[in-house]
Amino acid sequence: MVDLRRPRWIAALVRSRFLSSARGAESAESVVALPLIVIVIFTGLEYGWLALRSIQVDAAARAGARQAAMAGMSSASVEEAVSDSLRRAGISSGSVSTVPADPGQAQAGEVVSVEVSVSYAEVGLIGLGGLMPLPDTVTGRAAMVREPGP
């Protein structure tokens, strides 16, 4: 009697070639997909870091505005409050501007505003500025009403 089915070794050969070509396709897909996944992860980290730094700079501006709103405070005390807040956040330097320039000259009930700017190149996490749109500076603004004197 003749066995008309395929011999087992032919079936095994076909299966092994099919599996090895599938593995090759999976490898090619991994080579394409892995860099994209890594870029997405690092992009998420960088934008999350940007959001954190933006919140910290806003908090420093609020600290400066609180200082500027109190009676008898000067621009030097505002800059000191902003510097302390930035230092606690791990940011070494930033520029501070107040309106009016000397908060001590503002009248009670007048709005005093503080703006703090920090270079993102100094506070960035990974340094992907060349690959993705990131701001040059992170800016925080706060305004408060000047309190009446004693």
Q: Evaluate whether residue 130 is within a structural domain.
A: yes
Q: Evaluate whether residue 3 is within a structural domain.
A: no
- State the Cα–Cα distance between residues 41 and 2, nearest whole angstrom: 61
- State the Cα–Cα distance between residues 134 and 129, nearest whole angstrom: 6
- State the Cα–Cα distance between residues 90 and 86, nearest whole angstrom: 6
Q: Evaluate whether residue 2 is within a structural domain.
A: no
- pLDDT score recorded for residue 39: 86
Residues paired with residue 116 on neighbouring β-strands, in sequence order:
96, 140
Q: Evaluate whether residue 32 is within a structural domain.
A: yes
- pLDDT score recorded for residue 8: 67
Residues paired with residue 135 on neighbouring β-strands, in sequence order:
none
Q: Evaluate whether residue 1 is within a structural domain.
A: no
Q: Evaluate whether residue 96 is within a structural domain.
A: yes
8 A C-beta contact, residue 85 and residue 65: no
User: For every one of its 150 residues, what pLDDT tens digit does the chain have, with 9 covering 90 and above?
Assistant: 555 565 665 666 556 555 555 566 677 778 888 888 988 898 899 999 999 999 999 999 999 999 999 988 888 999 999 999 999 999 998 999 999 888 888 888 899 999 999 999 888 888 777 778 889 999 999 999 998 876
- pLDDT score recorded for residue 19: 55
Q: Evaluate whether residue 104 is within a structural domain.
A: yes
- State the Cα–Cα distance between residues 139 and 66, nearest whole angstrom: 17
Strands (E), 44-133: 95-99, 111-119
- 93: which 2 tokens? 């330097």
Q: Evaluate whether residue 125 is within a structural domain.
A: yes
8 A C-beta contact, residue 58 and residue 142: yes
Q: Where are the alpha helices (DSSP H) in the chain?
A: 8-69, 75-88, 120-123
- The range of the structural domain enclosing residue 46 comes to 8-145
> What total number of domains does the chain contain?
1
Q: What is the DSSP letter of 147?
A: P
